[in-house]
Amino acid sequence: MADAEEKFRNKLARQSRTLEDAVVEYRRRYGREPPKGFGEWWQFVQEHDVKLVDEFDAIHEDLAPFWNMSAAEFRNRAFEVGRLPSIDLVRIIDGRVETASVDTSSGEHGKRAFGFMSLLKKFEHTLPNMYFPVNAKAEGRVLVPWEHQAFPNMTVHNSSGGMTTPDWKGKGSVWESYRRSCPPYTEARRLYSSYRNPNAGNPKVFLGPAQAPQNELTFVANVEDSFDYCSHPGAHVSQGHFFSDWRTIPVLYPVLSPAKAVGFLDIRIPSNYYLGLKKTYTYGFDANNEGHPKDVDDMEVPWEEKKDLIFWRGASTGGGSTPPGFAANYHRHRFLRMTHHDALGNRTIIHADPSSSNPHSPRFIATTVPARTLNGEIMDAAFVSSTNSYPGGEEALRKHHRFAPVVPLGEHWAYKYLIDLDGMGYSGRFMALLASESAVLKSTVWREYLTDWLQPWLHYIPVSASYAELYNIHAYFSGPTASTLQAAATKPNLAISSSGHAHAHLGLGADEELQRIARAGRQWKRTIGRVEDMEAYVYRLCLEYARLWADDRDSMDFDSLGL
């Protein structure tokens, strides 16, 4: 936590203060001139008090592959992919943004396209004519075979070959497309081992600390979004996005999506869910005020009144059914079984020895506690609805997973710990949870436009895909539970030497440290996670996109001679 604060403080301190500084920093990072319109963009971010004016590496990462093709090819691909199912087309014409086409058959009714359009309204008049293909789905769409990434000019790409239907219909799967995007020397490209990996039945070996070793506290420094599924193909069964029903696109097309997992080549844009238009994704949603959030200060639950529990509610989504039969391995299902009040087995908890004389530098001990007892003390997690098929049907799903009534989003704030889990795609509730002034625990395999703007262990607590360290996170901040203390008093425990740093961050107690993370998350949402910051991101993306669109790309450089 101390390192996280220092890193983020340094990041804020080194941001450019003048347009001249921003141009120099741009050249240093990307080795070229800024795009045309950079001066107007700089004025926009100054007028809207944007804090992170230099942190747009995600845009350059997403657009980098398209510099290998001509402007004519880039434009052709934008038009071509716009004709595919579940892709909407947005255009700038004579300084105005409008829809060129919306795929109403997808069931999404252009929600992501219209959200993107709303982010362009303040500066649409500054942009040249161009088209943007927008993904109608939450999942990533672009998965290009490795050979076409390594040798982009080896073939002529087009959308023929059965891509005219939005779902797989038994003709392939996301995983089959994904493994073809891996280098040829990796395990995933060796067909037999990709299906017969000896660890396929035990995906936890790839998911982080399945159980903390008894001689150390084991946490993750960041959300693990760069796991190498190409080298460990058996682990793919634990992530539902590999089983999505919606067809991916095996061609390098410029598709704008709200998030992407490692290996996908979509271009990230802010999620429409973050714009405050739906009560299920908006903190303080006010249906009587055209969806604008209420004054969140009027909705706060005092920290000392929040329940000391890890809380989650959601649908039993998490993946598709192509191929069927894998839902038990999906991330939400694994979490619900782990936290179930009838869970079998034990958990070894690392916690401060209650007999330690110095609470700021205690001796640590390891205590083994029945999982079901511990879950009853610190977990409140349940499905609220069943949305996908499950092996054994609805009866089997309800037998092994807890179900409970829906809890309105605003009532989640009554808990100190709010865990954010992926659905079939990224989680659209993340921004709302950050606004709650509860501590957000986040586990994800998706990267969003905001990923690099957040600092783990300052604005939120990262959690591995196994979730197992949740117990030690709770024990660190909230102290050992009653059953843990009882077990510690009656059974032999493994003594662990003092770290010298426990509960000593800024001289605060553990509960105060947790509250500090909760407050930092809300402060980030209020100052860096605003709609104005999303607009600044999209404005910058549009300038870079316009340069790729132009035949004479050099003419689309920013003229910095007058600076």
CATH assignment of the domain containing 368: 3.40.50
- The single-letter code of the amino acid at 297 is D
What is the rounded CA–CA span in Å between residue 92 and residue 94?
7
Reduced to 3 DSSP states, what percent helix, strand and coil does the chain have, rounded to the nearest 5?
40, 15, 45
Same domain, 411 and 545: no
SS3 212: coil
Give which of 378, 320, 396 is closest to 166, Cα–Cα: 320
User: Strand pairing of 439-443 and 256-257?
Assistant: unpaired
Q: Are 343 and 487 within one domain?
A: yes
- Please tell me whether residues 475 and 551 are part of one structural domain: no
The dihedral through the CA atoms of 124, 126, 130, 136 has a sign that is: negative
Q: Which domain holds residue 66?
A: 2-83+87-136+531-556
Q: Quote the CA–CA distance of 516 and 390 in Å, as a whole number.
A: 40
d(CA 254, CA 78): 6
Pick from 400, 407, 410, 349: nearest CA to 380: 407
389 and 536, same domain (yes or no): no
Write the CB contacts of 414 (distance below 8 Å, at least 6 apart in sequence): 301, 305, 306, 307
Q: Say if residue 451 is in the same domain as residue 315.
A: yes
In a domain, 143, yes or no: no
Specify whether the CB–CB gap between 279 and 432 falls below 8 A: no
Task: Examine residue 437 and state whether it is found in any structural domain, yes or no.
Answer: yes
Distance CA 292, CA 277 (A): 7
Residues 541, 522 share a domain: no
Rounded CA-CA distance 497/555 in Å is 64
Neighbours of 509 (CB within 10 A): 15
Establish if 242 belongs to a structural domain: no
Report if residue 92 sits inside a domain. Answer: yes
Helices (H), 302-392: 331-338, 371-378
Q: Please check whether residue 262 lies inside any domain of the structure.
A: no
Q: Are residues 390 and 523 in the same domain?
A: yes
Q: Return the SS3 of 147.
A: helix
Q: Please report where in the chains the tokens 């980098």 appear, as a residue.
A: 64
Quote the CA–CA distance of 29 and 184 in Å, as a whole number: 31
Whether residues 407 and 542 share a domain: the answer is no
Biggest CA pair distance of the chain: 77
pLDDT the model gives residue 355: 81
- Total number of domains in the chain: 2
Q: Are residues 498 and 371 in the same domain?
A: yes
Which tokens in the block code for residue 84? Answer: 């595919």
Spell out a b/e string for 137-150, using b for 16 or more CB atoms within 10 Å of the CB, else e.
bbbbbbbbebebee
Verify cis geometry, omega within 30 degrees of 0, for the bond prior to 323: yes
pLDDT for res 206: 39
Amino acid at 9: R
Residue 20's pLDDT is 97
Residue 299 lies in a domain: no
Show pLDDT as tens, one digit a residue, over the chain (563 residues).
999 999 999 999 999 999 999 999 999 999 999 999 999 999 999 999 999 999 999 999 999 999 999 999 999 999 999 999 999 999 999 999 999 888 877 677 889 999 999 999 999 999 999 999 999 999 999 999 999 998 876 545 555 455 677 789 888 999 999 999 999 999 999 864 444 444 444 444 334 444 444 445 668 877 655 678 999 999 999 899 999 999 999 999 999 999 999 999 999 999 999 997 666 666 655 455 444 455 455 567 999 999 999 999 999 988 999 999 999 999 999 999 999 999 999 999 998 888 876 766 678 889 999 999 999 999 999 999 998 789 989 999 998 899 999 999 989 999 999 999 998 899 999 999 999 999 999 999 999 999 999 999 999 999 998 898 999 999 999 999 999 999 988 877 666 655 444 444 555 689 999 999 999 999 999 999 999 999 999 999 999 999 999 999 999 999 987 67
User: What pLDDT does 205 receive?
Assistant: 38
- Is the same domain home to 541 and 400? no
In degrees to the nearest 10, what's the CA dihedral of 448, 451, 457, 459? Answer: -80
Q: What pLDDT, on the 0 to 100 scale, is given for residue 109? A: 80
Q: Is residue 145 part of a domain?
A: no
Pair 430, 541 in one domain: no
**515 shares its domain with 545:** no
- DSSP code, position 422: -
The CA angle 178-231-58, to the nearest 5 degrees, is 60
Q: Around 450, how many Cα atoms within 13 Å sit in the side-chain half-sphere? A: 26
Q: Flag whether 469 is in a domain.
A: yes
Residues 5, 434: Cα–Cα separation, whole Å? 17
**Residue located via tokens 């436009």:** 449
Nearest alpha-carbon partner for 380 in 466, 314, 462, 460: 314
